[in-house]
A = this chain, B = another copy of it.
Amino acid sequence: MRLLVRHPSVILEKITSRSKAGSAVADLFPSLRGLVKLDFSEPAVDSYRDCDLVFFATPNTTAMEQAQSLLDAGIRVIDLAADFRIKHIPTWEQWYGTTHACPALVAEAVYGLPELNREKIRGARLVANPGCYPTSVILALLPLLANRLIDPRSIIADCKSGISGAGRKASIDTAFCEVTESVKAYAVQGHRHLPEIREVLQTLDADADLVFTPHLMPMIRGIHATVYADACTAADRVQSLFEDYYRDEPFVDVMPAGSHPETRSVRGANICRLAVHYLASANKYVVLSVEDNLVKGAAGQAIQNMNLMFGLDETAGLESPGMTP
């Protein structure tokens, strides 16, 4: 909503919530006082009739129950949850622990990473907005895989995320006194974003696989992915290969050689900022990739996808720089 209220071509028609129905959006989010006059309403497919697009910022398995009805009514859908991200249904069902409600739509859905699927997104009715970790990791690896610079089975993605990645909810696990002034890894044995990243990487190189270790950082926003891979060809051109690969991308920024991006440089902005290093002694690449998990890793990327789907300027509503400090 923070981004949509400033978008030149968007009218926010409805926002739904079962638990908050009837209360004013601005009462829950005082930062939107004067900017959003809506109340939360009960979700009801009928009521979206006047909408061109519905964003699902819902728990997993919600969108897959409602997407078909919306598409039938001519309404396009962007799902910010995971229902349409993984093409291989058994894999999805294993990691999400339930039967998928509409496998046919999974086949139709486009994985909404514009740097990979821009043209398909333009024509899509249904877009699966990528996960926050996958966005940061895949963007770090695209130039390496596309240029066959690495052993595709040697990838390690050591990722650090702010707490907002866990969503807004009452939970002891994300209570201030439990997570501030502390760092921990979690889900070392397997996180749901692992099969998502793997499947996307395998569209580039069928042998690709990775180790993925997420960590919780004591901050609100930001992901820092530190991605390691064994080099398999001479590395002297890696900096220019990265710069060339992303030259026309409005939302990927390749820093100068030797740089160390900070997550705060993208706070609130729809940017993934990269730096690529080659370690000669170990013959490895290390790519540092930062994004705001709530923007390029979620809502900002969803708006970028919307812009593409509706033929708008891809950067509309997304031009603000990161907020530093």
Contacts and interface: CB of A to CB of B under 8 A. Distances in A.
A288 B177 contact: no
A189 B277 CA distance: 8
A169 to B, nearest CB: 7
A244 interface: no
A232 interface: no
Contact of A175 (B174, B215, B282): B174
A266 B320 contact: no
Nearest to A281: B209
Q: Which of A177, A268, A288 has the most CB of B within 10 A?
A: A177
A188 B158 contact: no
Contacts of A284: 211
Interface in A166-184: 168-172, 174-184
A292 to B, nearest CB: 10
| Count of identical protomers in the assembly | 4
Interface stretch (A85-93, A95-103, A119-127, A219-227): A219-227
A253 interface: yes
Given A30-B273, A189-B277, A321-B2, A260 B224 contact: no
Contact of A286 (B174, B213, B262, B325): B213
Interface residues of A, number: 78
A79 B123 CA distance: 52
A323 B183 contact: no
Contacts of A168: 172, 175, 177-178, 325
A311 interface: no
A19 B237 CA distance: 34
A279 B323 CA distance: 38
A49 interface: no
Interface stretch (A32-40, A67-75, A144-152): A32-40
Interface in A102-116: none
B224 A215 contact: yes
Given A177-B164, A262-B182, A321 B170 contact: no
A269 B224 contact: no
A264 B188 contact: no
Contacts of A324: 2, 29, 31
A219 to B, nearest CB: 5
A286 B211 contact: yes
A272 to B, nearest CB: 12
A175 B169 contact: yes
B262 A184 contact: yes
Given A31-B269, A31-B323, A321-B2, A160 B174 contact: no
> Which 5 A-B residue pairs are closest in the complex by CB-CB distance?
A182-B264, A31-B322, A177-B325, A158-B158, A184-B262
